[in-house]
Amino acid sequence: MANSEKTNATKPDEEVKKESEIDDRQIRDVVAPPRFPLAHNQLFRPDGSIDLECLGKHLNKEGRIELDDAFYLVKTCSELFKKEPNMLRLKDPITVCGDVHGQFFDLLRLMEAGGDPADTQYLFLGDYVDRGCFSCECVFFLCAHKITYNSTFFMIRGNHECRHLTSFFNFKDECNYKYNSDLYDAIMECFDNLPIAATINGKFLCCHGGLSPDISTVRFKKKKSFSVPRAN
């Protein structure tokens, strides 16, 4: 003990100063991202329901989820979308939300402002991915809410919910980097099943990007085509 104290006491002032500077540069209130994916038994409760709060906190730390759980969220949500019509007919009160574009932290704030999904209807108007760097997190979080609140949580398709734009922009690369190409394909199939528009109280038409001023009448097929028309 005496030798140790003696060693510290005889350290050059410059060396002690360097150690102090290194310690001061550590930003202790910024937590490093989780090293491991969220465990299955943390994401799902014993009854099989999704722990939305736990998922939100984990994704907020830039954490990832197990690949099998990611597939479950996406494919389960895909089946729910498949059962919905092209045109959703909704009633107020309802919170209508615009583009998310991979901004997961903004999505959290948006839903804080919009109200608890347990007590509030939601309608998202598309463009969940691309541009931002947290598109996977947005997809998982929205899918988890759709599964939990299927009858009051609605999503329609935007122009970025397609293979062409997600390849041109950054979502495909993000998904392949964080997970794999099979999950990307599953998410694209999920997007294929999304409704394309909604009405509220039979008076307000909600769709992504609006309509051309040259259009005066719109008719939606009840049966989905599950494909995107070619640009040409």
Residue 9 φ/ψ region, left for φ over 0, alpha for ψ in the -120 to 50 degree band, beta for the rest: alpha
Let me know if residue 152 belongs to a domain. Answer: yes
Residue 50 lies in a domain: no
The one catalytic residue among 58, 101, 145, 160: 160
Residue 127 lies in a domain: yes
160 a catalytic residue: yes
pLDDT at residue 133 greater than cutoff 90: yes
Distance CA 50, CA 47 (A): 9
Nearest Cα to Cα of residue 154 among 182, 128, 185? 128
Residues 6+ apart with CB under 8 A from 133: 102, 170, 174
In a domain? residue 51: no
Q: How many angstroms separate the CA atoms of 226 and 5, rounded?
A: 74
Q: How far separated are the first and last CA of the chain, in Å rounded? A: 81
pTM of the complete model: 0.84
The predicted-structure confidence for 94-122, as pLDDT tens digits, reads as follows 999 999 999 999 999 999 999 999 999 99
- Count of C-beta atoms within a 10 Å radius of residue 168: 12
145 and 153 Cβ atoms separated by less than 8 Å? yes
pLDDT in tens, 49-104: 999 999 999 999 999 999 999 999 999 999 999 999 999 999 999 999 999 999 99
When computed from its CA atoms, the radius of gyration of the chain, rounded to whole angstroms, is 23
Looking at residue 27, its pLDDT comes to 72
Detail the DSSP E strand segments found in 17-139: 87-90, 95-97, 122-124
C-beta separation of 157 from 196 below 8 A: yes
- What CATH number should be reported for the domain holding residue 139? 3.60.21.10
- What is residue 221's predicted lDDT score, i.e. its pLDDT? 63
Q: Has residue 5 been placed in a domain?
A: no
More confident: 23 or 135: 135
Which pLDDT value is given to residue 232?
47
- Give the whole-angstrom CA distance, residue 220 versus residue 210: 15
Q: Considering the domain boundaries, does residue 37 fall inside one?
A: no
Q: Determine the 3-state secondary structure of 74 from DSSP.
A: helix
Q: Give the count of domains, the chain.
A: 1
User: Which token pair is 97?
Assistant: 């939300």
Query: How many angstroms separate the CA atoms of 198 and 112, rounded?
Result: 23
What is the rounded CA–CA span in Å between residue 52 and residue 118? 11
The pLDDT confidence band at residue 224, using thresholds 50, 70 and 90, is: low
Cis peptide before 117 (omega within 30 of 0): no
Q: Where in the sequence is the domain holding 90, given as residue range(s)?
A: 65-212
Asked if residue 58 is part of any domain, the answer here is no
Cα distance between residue 56 and residue 43, in whole Å: 10
